[in-house]
A = this chain, B = another copy of it.
Amino acid sequence: MKPWTPTNPAFADAVRASFTRQSMMATLGAAIVRLAPGEVDLAAPFAPQFGQQNGFWHAGAVASLADSANGYAAFTLAPAGTDVLAVEFKINLLAPAVGDRFVACGRVVRPGRTLTVCQAEVFAETAAGGAASGPARNLVATMSSTLIVRRRASDPSFPNDG
């Protein structure tokens, strides 16, 4: 997407501090593998405790990683002192989430003062057998998200701020 300009010069620190507080990311074993204005990639290893009935990664695990990638992509462009919350997302599950590691790449499509729209792609990576070949990379899901930017001090009673 565009070369976005962050309004918070300390955006990278803000993202890392918030990511550390997301216990779900620690539970999944996720890490930030790319962090730039409007762009955040998160990676997590396959682990059997997040499976569905066939042993694939559960769609909810895929969605967790993609939702956080989009949320932090939006957060890179948010002003200091704000928080970002998803108000909705939609995921298309393109292939079974089978692999050694999953990478969710979140990108800002349109930043806004109130609402930001992001898209994520989730890849399953499998360590390849042959010496010459690199890891196989398969697109397993796409997500579009709407996120709301809020003053941190505001009442935490919601995304939707009733």
Contact = CB atoms under 8 A, between A and B. Distances in A.
Interface string A49-93: 111111100111101110110000000000000010111111111
Nearest to A28: B60
A139 to B, nearest CB: 7
A159 B98 CA distance: 12
A103 to B, nearest CB: 16
Contact of A24 (B61, B112, B115): B61
Nearest to A150: B114
Contact of A114 (B19, B53, B61, B148): B148
Contacts of A63: 59-60, 63-64, 67, 89
A46 B144 CA distance: 27
Which of A48, A55, A68, A114 has its CB near the most chain B CB atoms (within 10 A)? Answer: A114
Interface in A17-65: 18-19, 21-24, 26-27, 48-55, 58-61, 63-65
Contacts of A156: 54, 96
Nearest to A21: B53
The 3 closest A-B pairs by CB, nearest first: A60-B64, A90-B90, A24-B58
Interface of A: 18-19, 21-24, 26-27, 48-55, 58-61, 63-65, 67-68, 83, 85-96, 109-117, 119, 139, 142, 144, 146, 148, 156-162
